[in-house]
Amino acid sequence: MLKVTKATAADIPLIRQLTFAIWPQTYSSIISKEQIDYMLEQMYNPETLRKLIEEDNITFIIIYDDKEPVAFASYNETEPQTWKLNKIYILSSQQGKGTGKFIIKYIVDEIKGKGAKALQLQVNRENKAKDFYEKLGFKIIKTADFDIGNGYFMNDYVMELAL
């Protein structure tokens, strides 16, 4: 049975453990190992995660299947009534079992209660997760390239789910 807990700074080691288990297999066929390593260091170092959780008001959740952590996500309000799903990562052993749908539903229920009218996300244009998001009702609203430094870019679709 899936269960959601809100993460705190004490959960940073677990978030990092999940990230390092999920990221390489998710992105190795899409971006270079060097870019993966760079992004992991930039986005998932303990200090960056602490700042996101404690200072930037980004909600992180960890999803457990029984007592086993299997996924995490983060989201926040970016403008009035528009929220952004910043991260959603699920262990490959858990994919195809409804976990992603469960997480999106949980977040949608949470943010609707706060007046949200839309949930947006970015997904790499080569990531097969795009099809998953489309099945849930997300629509591509733009194509964008984000300069993340060191000569690297995130080549993404920005997608939106109207609530």
pLDDT given at position 25? 83
Which tokens sit at 79? 């403008």
CB 73 within 8 A of CB 87: yes
pLDDT given at position 153? 93
CB 9 within 8 A of CB 55: no
pLDDT given at position 12? 98
Per-10-residue mean pLDDT of the chain, 163 residues long, equals 97 97 88 92 95 95 96 97 97 94 98 97 94 97 95 95 98
From the candidate CATH numbers 3.40.630.30, 3.40.50.2300, 3.10.20.740, 2.120.10.70, the one assigned to the domain spanning 2-162 = 3.40.630.30
pLDDT given at position 136? 97
CA 37 to chain centre: 17
CA distances from 138 to 8, 121, 130, 134 (A): 29, 9, 9, 5
pLDDT given at position 116? 98
Name the E strands within 7-138.
Answer: 59-65, 68-79, 82-90, 118-124
Question: What whole-number distance in Å separates Cα of residue 128 and Cα of residue 150?
Answer: 26
CB 88 within 8 A of CB 103: yes
User: Residue holding tokens 């195809």?
Assistant: 96
Q: Which of 66, 67, 72, 17 is nearest to 40 (CA)?
A: 17
Name the residue ranges covered by the structural domains of the chain: 2-162
